[in-house]
């Protein structure tokens, strides 16, 4: 039996005009929808606060967890009775953060059930100190079981936190609802909070690539579930908090496959409290976030293009996204196949469910069934725990199979079986698990030609290719070059913290002359390299020399065909089978390399 030691009731207060700090924070929140995702840092020290300001963070959030984190203790200590949480937060605010905030909006954690002082008095004092907003922290959502039930019964649960946030809004503060479940989200929606902070677990870095990939997609599914509970308030800003997001690439994945408008993190920016490390990490996060501006000219769902070829692609995407059919996306490496797959998922009815990817060419044949269908503990050496497969992780959502042309014969049979039966059996298990998954695939080689060559099963081909989307090469859409260049420069300005105004006329001319065998990915690398090697605000591209298919033919015309054949074979051997690298070494396009290899094979067969 829990004895209620303190009861408070919200007094009737007339809505008070927001402070300048609160007004600035509301403008920042509005910008998360139209400009770029919002990044909040949770500092545990003045050093991290200062570095966050210098690195361009959008806001600071001060929680008593920061006090414990800087002492080498995990954030969970903030929920234990080591002291008054509100007093700890105020001490961190006054001594370390506010003196170094330099005008950056500051949000403070408030424990709603603190009996030591009337809540209204505490909120007024925080506002007078210069705090722009408040968040319910430590959040009662971290507590479960009978203790949580007792707190709710005594009026000290999620409803009391929502009541506190409602009072904060009446006093002119910005209200952030920290939610761990849909129940809290629903309470905060009724309280009309300005933003939601959606918890996806403790910050953790996984050394296992496959485990990390699974954790990211589980986090995305959790974010989409919590976001769906807030669908009644489309203008409410939603930020992810914690979880497996520990690199800019993680943030990139989450932004692409969820409807959040930003990220808030503490230990991810504070793990190594060194000024340069914090600055570099934040700038890379900002650069990755800039890629997701939806208002960029010529952008459609994050994909840049206004040429007739890309407009045709966008038209097909819009037509088939809502239809629950399989789609095969074909195109050379670097043309954006994964971007199109992600867009098809986001525009589909499955958007709030997982988007799981698997590179078929990167998984050994012996592990393929485990990756697709999962395994039971002890199923084979190294299987120390039960692990769900990609089909189970993608249940209700979309499974994207990249480089499907590289799928082995055994893998093709296994995939065909699950597409027919709509159920999987984990390796080492007996029970079947029903799955509801939409399949998207990608290939840099035409699957139809592989079927004709007997390298790909025709029955699987027809199941996977209900709709085919062919992505054009970069050289086939030169009209998009200015749009792509500006998008890349916008990214680099944040990542390199440099004011790059554009390219010289000569550099632009050379870009248009190049054949671009690596497509958009190669264009990104060329401009990034020039930005690193050059100091001026206008990139001259002096380190870049274009070449094209025509120039290659002219340069090699005097060589006998057999000589070219031998060069191609030798280059592939030297590159250990990597044909892209071999083509680069020979300074020819991959198309030319493949032609030489075919001719060499035919010549050898004739002999």
Provide the whole-model pTM.
0.64
Mean pLDDT, to the nearest integer, of 105-122?
Answer: 92
Cα-based distances in Å from 326 to 1, 175, 345, 462: 56, 43, 11, 10
Lowest-confidence range among 135-144, 501-510, 596-605? 596-605
- In the prediction, which pLDDT does 283 show? 60
Mean pLDDT, to the nearest integer, of 65-80?
Answer: 71
Q: What is the pLDDT of residues 514-541, one digit of tens each?
A: 989 899 999 999 999 999 998 888 898 9
- CA-to-CA distance for 505 and 510, rounded, in angstroms? 9
Mean pLDDT, to the nearest integer, of 146-164?
Answer: 87
- In the prediction, which pLDDT does 76 show? 67
- In the prediction, which pLDDT does 288 show? 58
**All structural domains of the chain with their residue ranges:** 20-290, 299-470, 474-539, 549-606
Q: Supply 75's token pair.
A: 């954030």
- In the prediction, which pLDDT does 287 show? 56
Q: What is the pLDDT of residues 466-488, one digit of tens each?
A: 999 999 999 999 999 999 998 89
Residue 371 has pLDDT above 60, yes or no: yes
Residue 493 has pLDDT above 70, yes or no: yes
Residue 546 has pLDDT above 90, yes or no: no
The fraction of the chain above a pLDDT of 70, given in percent, is 85
Residue 10 has pLDDT above 70, yes or no: no
Taking each continuous run of H as one helix and of E as one strand, the counts in the chain are 26, 21
- CA-to-CA distance for 219 and 265, rounded, in angstroms? 15
Mean pLDDT, to the nearest integer, of 237-248?
Answer: 88
- Right CATH number for 299-470 from 3.40.50.10490, 3.40.50.300, 3.40.50.1380, 3.10.450.50? 3.40.50.300
Mean pLDDT of the chain: 83
Phi first, then psi: what are they for 344, rounded to 5°?
A: -60, -40
Do the bridges between strand 327-330 and strand 438-443 make them parallel or antiparallel, or are there none, so unpaired? parallel
- The architecture that CATH gives domain 474-539 is Orthogonal Bundle (1.10)
CB contact set of 146 (below 8 Å; sequence gap of 6+) = none
Q: What is the pLDDT of residues 295-306, one digit of tens each?
A: 555 668 778 988
Q: What is the pLDDT of residues 199-242, one digit of tens each?
A: 988 877 666 667 778 888 889 989 999 999 998 888 899 999 98
State which fold the 20-290 domain adopts: TIM Barrel (3.20.20)
> Which ranges in 229-266 belong to alpha helices (H)?
248-257
Q: What is the pLDDT of residues 33-59, one digit of tens each?
A: 877 789 999 998 888 899 889 888 999
467 or 493: which leads in pLDDT: 467
Q: How far is CA 235 from the centre of its chain?
A: 21
Mean pLDDT, to the nearest integer, of 558-562?
Answer: 47
Helix (H) or strand (E) holding 593: helix 590-606
Residue 122 has pLDDT above 80, yes or no: yes
Cα-based distances in Å from 189 to 195, 226, 457: 9, 12, 51
Residue 550 has pLDDT above 70, yes or no: no
Residue 548 has pLDDT above 80, yes or no: no
Categorize the per-residue pLDDT at 563 as very low, low, confident or very high, splitting at 50, 70 and 90.
low
- In the prediction, which pLDDT does 336 show? 92
- In the prediction, which pLDDT does 74 show? 64
Phi first, then psi: what are they for 558, rounded to 5°?
A: -75, -10
- In the prediction, which pLDDT does 575 show? 77
Categorize the per-residue pLDDT at 142 as very low, low, confident or very high, splitting at 50, 70 and 90.
confident
Question: Are residues 367 and 414 in contact, defined by beta-carbon separation less than 8 angstroms?
Answer: no
Lowest-confidence range among 193-207, 271-285, 345-359? 271-285
Lowest-confidence range among 120-134, 398-412, 584-598? 584-598
- In the prediction, which pLDDT does 79 show? 67
Residue 4 has pLDDT above 60, yes or no: no
- In the prediction, which pLDDT does 284 show? 59
Mean pLDDT, to the nearest integer, of 329-345?
Answer: 93
Question: Are residues 79 and 142 in contact, defined by beta-carbon separation less than 8 angstroms?
Answer: yes
Mean pLDDT, to the nearest integer, of 183-207?
Answer: 87
- In the prediction, which pLDDT does 289 show? 56
Residue positions counted in the chain? 607
Categorize the per-residue pLDDT at 555 as very low, low, confident or very high, splitting at 50, 70 and 90.
very low
CA dihedral over 502, 505, 506, 512, signed as positive or negative? positive
Helix (H) or strand (E) holding 239: strand 237-241
């Amino acid at each position: 039996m829990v004895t209620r030691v303190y009861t408070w009731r919200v007094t009737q207060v007339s809505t008070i005009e927001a402070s300048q700090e609160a007004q600035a924070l509301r403008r920042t929140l509005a910008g998360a929808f139209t400009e770029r995702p919002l990044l909040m840092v949770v500092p545990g020290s003045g050093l991290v606060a200062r570095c966050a300001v210098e690195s361009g963070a959008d806001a600071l959030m001060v929680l008593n967890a920061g006090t414990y984190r800087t002492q080498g203790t995990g954030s969970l200590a903030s929920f234990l009775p080591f002291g008054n949480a509100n007093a700890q937060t105020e001490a961190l605010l006054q001594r370390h953060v506010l003196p170094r905030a330099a005008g950056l909006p500051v949000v403070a954690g408030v424990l709603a059930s603190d009996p030591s002082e009337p809540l209204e008095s505490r909120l007024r004092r925080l506002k007078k100190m210069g705090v722009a907003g408040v968040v319910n922290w430590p959040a009662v959502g971290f507590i479960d079981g009978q203790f949580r039930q007792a707190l709710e019964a005594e009026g000290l649960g999620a409803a009391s936190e929502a009541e506190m946030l409602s009072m904060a809004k009446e006093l002119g503060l910005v209200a952030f609802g920290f939610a761990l479940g849909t129940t809290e989200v629903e309470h905060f929606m009724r309280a009309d909070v300005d933003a939601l902070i959606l918890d996806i677990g403790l910050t953790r870095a996984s050394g296992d690539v496959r485990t990390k990939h699974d954790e990211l997609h589980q986090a995305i599914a959790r974010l989409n579930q919590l976001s769906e509970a807030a669908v009644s308030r489309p203008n409410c800003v939603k930020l992810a908090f914690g979880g497996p997001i520990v690199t800019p690439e993680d943030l990139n994945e989450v932004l692409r496959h969820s409807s959040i408008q930003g990220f808030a993190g503490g230990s991810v920016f504070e793990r190594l409290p060194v000024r340069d490390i914090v600055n570099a990490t934040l700038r890379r996060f900002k650069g990755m976030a800039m890629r997701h501006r939806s208002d960029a000219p010529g952008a459609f769902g994050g994909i840049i293009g206004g040429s007739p070829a890309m407009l045709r692609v966008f038209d097909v995407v819009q037509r088939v996204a809502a239809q629950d059919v399989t789609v095969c996306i074909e195109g050379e490496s670097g043309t954006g196949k994964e971007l199109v797959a992600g867009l098809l998922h986001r525009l589909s009815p499955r958007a709030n469910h997982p988007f799981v990817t698997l590179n078929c060419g990167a998984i050994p044949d012996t592990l393929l069934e485990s990756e697709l269908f999962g395994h039971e503990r002890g199923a084979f050496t190294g299987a120390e725990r039960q692990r769900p497969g990609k089909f189970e992780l993608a249940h209700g959502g979309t499974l994207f199979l990249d480089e499907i042309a590289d799928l082995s014969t055994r893998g093709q049979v296994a995939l065909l079986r699950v597409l027919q039966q709509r159920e999987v059996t984990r390796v080492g298990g007996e029970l079947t698990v029903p799955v509801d998954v939409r399949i998207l695939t990608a290939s840099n080689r035409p699957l139809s030609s592989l079927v004709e060559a007997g390298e790909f099963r025709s029955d699987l081909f027809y199941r996977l290719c209900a709709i085919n989307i062919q992505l054009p090469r970069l050289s086939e859409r030169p009209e998009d070059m200015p749009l792509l260049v500006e998008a890349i420069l916008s990214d680099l300005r944040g990542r390199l913290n440099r004011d790059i105004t554009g390219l010289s006329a000569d550099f632009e001319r050379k870009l248009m002359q190049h054949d671009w065998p690596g497509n958009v990915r190669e264009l990104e690398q060329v401009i990034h390299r020039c930005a690193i090697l050059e100091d001026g605000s206008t990139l001259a591209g002096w380190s870049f020399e274009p070449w094209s298919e025509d120039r290659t033919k002219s340069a090699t015309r005097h060589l006998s065909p057999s000589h070219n054949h031998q060069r191609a074979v030798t280059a592939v051997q030297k590159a250990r089978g990597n044909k892209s690298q071999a083509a680069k070494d020979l300074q020819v396009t991959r198309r030319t390399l493949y032609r030489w290899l075919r001719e060499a094979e035919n010549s050898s067969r004739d002999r």
